[in-house]
Homo-oligomer: A and B are copies of this chain.
Amino acid sequence: MKNSHYFDDDQVDLKSKYEKPKQPNWLFRRIYILTWIRHYDREKAISDLIAGITLGLTIIPQSIAYAALAGRSSEYGLYTAFIGSIIYVFFGTIPQVSIGPTSLMSLMVLQYCYEKPIEIVIVLAFLAGCVELLMGIFQLGFIVSFIPSAVNKAFTTGTSIIVALCQIKNLLGVKLKGVPTPKAFFENIKVADATVGITCFVILLALRQLSSVKFKEESPATRRLKKLLWYISISRNALVVFTCGMIAYFWIQKSSFEAIPITLSSKVDSGIPTIKLPPFAFIHDNRTYVFSDICRELGSGILVVPIVAVLANVAIAKAFVKDGILDASQEMLTLGICNVAGSFFSAMPTCGAFTRSAVSQASGVRTPMAGIYTGIIVLSALSILTPYFQYIPKSSLSAVLIAAVIFMVDFKPLTELWKTNKKDFISWLGCVIVCLAAGVEMGLLYGIILNMIFVLLRLGKPKLEVNVKKSDNLIYVHIKPMSDIYYTGVELIRTEIKSACVLYRNDFPIVLDCSRFMLFDTTFLEMLNAVAKDLRENNVLLILQFFPDKHKEFLNGNSNIRFANDRTLSELIVKT
C-alpha cells in the first residue's frame, strides 16, 4: 500500500536530476537546533532579535492575563512563558510557533482545577507533558487528521466566545460568583472598573487598526512612519497594560491603596523561578494531598488537556510550516518537554498560541532562536517588574483578553458550509453549541464522533453493481462492489445477495466479485458463511471471484462455495 513515486520510461533522465533530499539523522531531527544552528548568521540574528523583543512585549501582558483567566496570580503565567520560549529554541521546528500560556490552556486549567491549590495545576502540567511525550514517542500525530476543518473552526470560535464571556464580568468589575441573573449583573457593575475596561478595550481596537493605515504617497518618511505605527500596533497590549499600571501607581502614591476605586491585580511573589521537583505531595488548608489524590482531582483532565494541547499545537504548526513536511511527532515531543520542564519551574500547562505565532510571523522571525530573546525579556520582567504587577487594573487585563479573542470568533462558516457541505455545516453548528453548553472538550469530542459516524454511514452504503450475466449459455447473477467494503457495508451486500435470490427464485448461481476489495475482516467472512448456509438450503451456488487464498480456510465448512478467477468461472458453473 506504499505510495509510489515513479517516472514514465522516457523520463529516466529526470531521475538523476531530482534526487530525494537526505533526511537528517535521528539526533539532529530530535534536537532540532543542530540542523539550523550551523547556518545561523548575523542577518538571521538581527531578525530574530527584533521578533523576539516584539514577542516579549506581547507575551508579558498576555501571560498575566491568561494567568488571571485560569484563576492564578501573574507570576505563574510568566514562568510558563519563560520556560516555553527557551525550550522551543532547542527542540522546535517552526520558527513562528510561540509556546506559553494560551487562552485554551487557561480554560482547561479553569475547568479541571477550579478553586484547587496551585500545586495541582503544576502536577497537571507535568502529567500532561508525560502524556505528550508518550504521544510523540508512539508517533500518534495522526490523531490530528481526525479533526475535520469544520470542527477545528467551530472549536476556535467556541473557545473564544467562552473566554470573552468569562472575562466580561472582570471587564465591568462585577464581583458575583457563577452565572448571575441579568438584573444582578447590571446592578453590580462598578463604574470605575467598567470605565477603565471599556476605555482599554476601545484603545486596543483602535491601535490594532494602526497597522493597516494607508498613506497616499510612499516616501522614506512614510515608510518609517508606517513601520513605527506597525510596531505600536503590535505592542498595544504592553502599552495599554503598562499605561494603566503607571496611572494606578502614581494615583496610589498620591493617596493610598484604599482610596483608589479600581480593582487591581493581587500581589505577586517577585523573583526568578527556581528549579524544584513538581509538588507530588503537599499540604494545603490542613489537608494532605498525595499523588493519588492529585490524580483523582484531575480526573479525565490528565488525558484531555494534553490531547487538546497537541491538537492546538499541531494545528498552529501546520498553518506556519513552509516547504517540506511538518514533523508532528517532534512537535509533540517538544511540547511534552516544555510541559515537563515547566512543571519543574512551577509553570502551568502550555501549548502554542495562534495569536502570538501570527505576531512572530509578522515580526519577521527567521529561526526559533527568537525565543531566547523573548525568554530573557520575560525573565527580566519577572526579576524587576513583579513588585509593580499589583498595580495593574484587572479590567485592563480583561480588555486585553477580550480584544485578542473576539477576532477569532468567526461566523462566516455558517453560510459558507451551508453552501459547500451540509454535514460540515451540522458539525460546525453542533460543535459551537456543545462547546458553549457543555465545555470545549465535549464540543471537540462531539465533532470528532459525529464525523466518524458520517464516514461510517457513507461506508455503510457502498456502491454495488448487480448484473445478470450470460456466458456460454449459462446465466448467473454477478454482484460487484465498486470500492473497498468496511464492516458497516457488509449488511448491504448480504441484503443484495438475498434480494437477488428472492427475485430470481434461486434459479441462478450468485457470483460475488471481490476484485476491488482490500480488507477482509471477520464481519465480512462471517456474513459469507451465513449467506452460504442460507443459499445451501435452496441449492444455490455462491462463487467468490478473486478471493484471496489466505482467507479460504475460514469458509471451509461450506459445500456450496466455489472460488474462481475470470478463466475458471464458466468452467465452475458448467460443472454444477
- In the complex formed, the residue of B with least CB distance to A529 is B149
For the complex, give the distance between the alpha carbons of A523 and B455 in Å: 13
Q: Is A521 an interface residue (CB 8 A)?
A: yes
Q: Is A569 an interface residue (CB 8 A)?
A: no
Of the 9-residue stretches A187-195, A230-238, A467-475, which lies at the interface with chain B?
A467-475
Q: Is A457 an interface residue (CB 8 A)?
A: yes
Q: Is A218 an interface residue (CB 8 A)?
A: no
Q: Is A345 an interface residue (CB 8 A)?
A: no
CB distance from A424 to the nearest CB of B (A): 4
One of B424, B489, B498 near A521 (C-beta < 8 A): B424
One of B421, B487, B502 near A148 (C-beta < 8 A): B487
Query: Once the chains bind, are B490 and A521 in contact (CB under 8 Å)?
Result: no
Q: Is A420 an interface residue (CB 8 A)?
A: yes
Residues on B with beta carbons closer than 8 Å to the beta carbon of A31? none
- In the complex formed, the residue of B with least CB distance to A323 is B502
One of B7, B146, B455, B456 near A467 (C-beta < 8 A): B7
Instruction: Encode A513-544 as 1/0 by CB contact (under 8 A) with B.
Output: 00000011111011100000010000000000
Q: Is A325 an interface residue (CB 8 A)?
A: yes
Residues on B with beta carbons closer than 8 Å to the beta carbon of A8? 467-470
For the complex, give the distance between the alpha carbons of A461 and B468 in Å: 35
Of the 9-residue stretches A13-21, A107-115, A250-258, which lies at the interface with chain B?
A13-21
- In the complex formed, the residue of B with least CB distance to A425 is B522
Query: Once the chains bind, are B495 and A18 in contact (CB under 8 Å)?
Result: no
One of B461, B496, B522 near A420 (C-beta < 8 A): B522
For the complex, give the distance between the alpha carbons of A554 and B420 in Å: 8
Q: A413-446: which residues lie under 8 A (CB-CB) from chain B?
A: 416-417, 419-421, 423-424
By Cβ-Cβ distance, the 9 closest A-B pairs, closest first, are: A424-B522, A149-B523, A148-B487, A145-B491, A3-B464, A148-B523, A452-B452, A149-B526, A145-B488
A-B CB contact pairs (8 Å), 18 listed: A3-B464, A3-B492, A4-B465, A7-B467, A7-B468, A8-B470, A11-B475, A142-B460, A144-B491, A148-B487, A149-B522, A416-B522, A420-B522, A421-B520, A421-B521, A455-B488, A458-B519, A483-B484
17 additional A-B pairs beyond A417-B522, A455-B456, beta carbons within 8 Å, are A1-B461, A1-B463, A3-B492, A5-B500, A10-B470, A11-B475, A14-B475, A21-B503, A142-B460, A323-B501, A323-B502, A324-B502, A325-B495, A421-B521, A424-B523, A455-B459, A455-B487
